[in-house]
Structure 1
């Protein structure tokens, strides 16, 4: 047996493992992202838009797969990379060229993602400027497949407006704690609405729930919520024809799900429960305005 060759192999392995450890110990610091310019809350308050953006940065793997624009980093020299990073206030001379290039590519992807988010916020702004556009209609729900983008925006705005009102009314520590927990739970839904990752069935159900909230029909909103949680599609009462000839097409939409939506996964369960809390808050405020007791 050639002991010399065995010793050499062991030395090489130790050197390689040492290099790997050094690389892992060298952490690349990335600059903090700018906060949403529309955020008006203090640092201690939670804003839905800011929280949603943080959620996307931290937990969403899909947005981390944004296509790299290779034309923006074509075989750059180290001086060119330094120049671009310096312009972004992200230059760290202690990094190697490869690490600097990775940082630059990351920042470019981040910029693309933030621009996409800004485009969506601009779309929402059009609805904020026109209250009539915020109203969910039966016609839009019936033709949900054709009106998905409209309904997605309307639901997001409805959610944010309820939160805004709730923030103004939250006085006790218990109210504030419930509000904070509800916001955290709803983030996944806000993201799914913005990125069109919600099924048509769920979109119909949510549209129906917020339609009933807007019309102050809270019994119907709660009925629709129950159907959403158990996995059935809920339509506004009287909208869908349930005659003999319509049953087959209706069954294609509603499906024959045996799994409750609230049992799909933990993040889905959290946002479904958060929707229920929004219904409860609006119902409570409506009763207070009407002078109901109990």
Structure 2
């Protein structure tokens, strides 16, 4: 071995391993968050174990019975039924859930959770629910007989009067839709299977579905004043079998008296007349252009008028719509 190799070997022995020392120093300076979390959880478990043992020891010294805690962490106090609640066994709970048409156990449900679910169902069934009417459009409004459907000339100003008016309107449209459905069902099968027959039935179903938002407005008593008055006028004229006047009210309600209700004012180079009145409100407003829901139930009202003049023809033939 030459002198150079001996010197390099001695120098390498004298130098400390820099990489090792830097890694050790880094491990001493930084600790991973997962290690801290593991240490914290272990310390909490040890503390809970010590507290439980101390409480158990104190209870035994005082001569008290030790009740094991629930696995889900709920105390035994919460298991005690409240005043007025019946104490039901598990077998009885299963039988009563079956009688209610409910599953006897949900996925991952404990016996206590099943008992709570049964008590919620019993409480819900004891609470009086609003009954829905058995008509083309189920509603919570109490429908009136035909003799009491006559709407007034003007919209009442008091709340009770408006609520009764909404019941009258809902009752009238329910009667028209029901008669419409009966008339279509009485047709021959050969007529029902034709294109015109299917189209007539689809028009009835579409009108019935489109009027559901209007019935919701009747139930909540939140029909806009600009729409309620014209609807009352339409229904009043229809009840008097003045269908041309009812159609005029529908046109005023849907299209309005606006100069250009569809909003096309500048198709050419010249400005059209009364353009400044386009966005004015009031009776000139075109409600059929407000939103899609309004447009649909207004169109359904027009279809109800078309059927009503066939089902209840007017005495004056001039009141027949074209």
TM-score between both structures, scaled by the size of structure 2: 0.49
- Change in Cα spacing, 1:273 to 1:191, as seen in structure 2 (3 Å) is same
- Larger CA Rg, structure 1 vs 2: 2
TM-score between both structures, scaled by the size of structure 1: 0.53
Q: CA deviation at 1:265?
A: 3.1
Q: CA deviation at 1:156?
A: 0.9
Corresponding residue for 1:197?
Answer: 222
Corresponding residue for 1:143?
Answer: 156
Decide whether the 8 Å contact of 1:81 with 1:104 is kept in 2: no
Q: Does 1:167 align with 2:167?
A: no
- Change in Cα spacing, 1:287 to 1:192, as seen in structure 2 (3 Å) is same
Corresponding residue for 2:231?
Answer: 206
Distance (Å, rounded) in 1 between the aligned partners of 2:122 and 2:290: 34
Alpha carbon RMSD of aligned pairs, Å?
Answer: 4.4
Corresponding residue for 1:134?
Answer: 149
Q: Which runs of 4+ in 1 moved over 6 A?
A: 6-9, 71-78, 288-294
Alignment of 1:233-272 (within 5 A): 256=282, 260-272=286-298
Q: CA deviation at 1:101?
A: 4.7
Decide whether the 8 Å contact of 2:140 with 2:219 is kept in 1: no
Distance (Å, rounded) in 1 between the aligned partners of 2:287 and 2:243: 21
Q: 3-state SS of the aligned residue for 2:103? A: coil
Corresponding residue for 1:182?
Answer: 207
- Change in Cα spacing, 1:106 to 1:218, as seen in structure 2 (3 Å) is farther
Structure 2: give runs of 5+ residues left out of the alignment: 1-29, 39-81, 134-138, 188-196, 258-280
Instruction: For CA contacts below 8 A with separation 6 or more, give which structure has more relative contact order.
Output: 1
Q: Does 1:91 align with 2:100?
A: no
Q: Note the alpha carbon deviations across 1:5-58, whole angstroms, 9 max, x for none.
A: 18989xxxxxxxxxxxxxxxxxxxxxxxxxxxxxxxxxxxxxxxxxxxxxxxxx
Decide whether the 8 Å contact of 2:256 with 2:285 is kept in 1: yes
Distance (Å, rounded) in 1 between the aligned partners of 2:83 and 2:298: 42
Corresponding residue for 1:219?
Answer: 244
Q: Does 1:123 align with 2:137?
A: no
Structure 1: give runs of 5+ residues left out of the alignment: 10-70, 233-254
- Greater Cα offset, 282-291 or 211-220: 282-291
- Aligned residues between the structures: 204
Q: Would you tell me which structure has more helix in proportion to its own residues? A: 1
Q: Find the partner of 1:277 among 294, 303, 310.
A: 303
Q: 3-state SS of the aligned residue for 2:211? A: helix
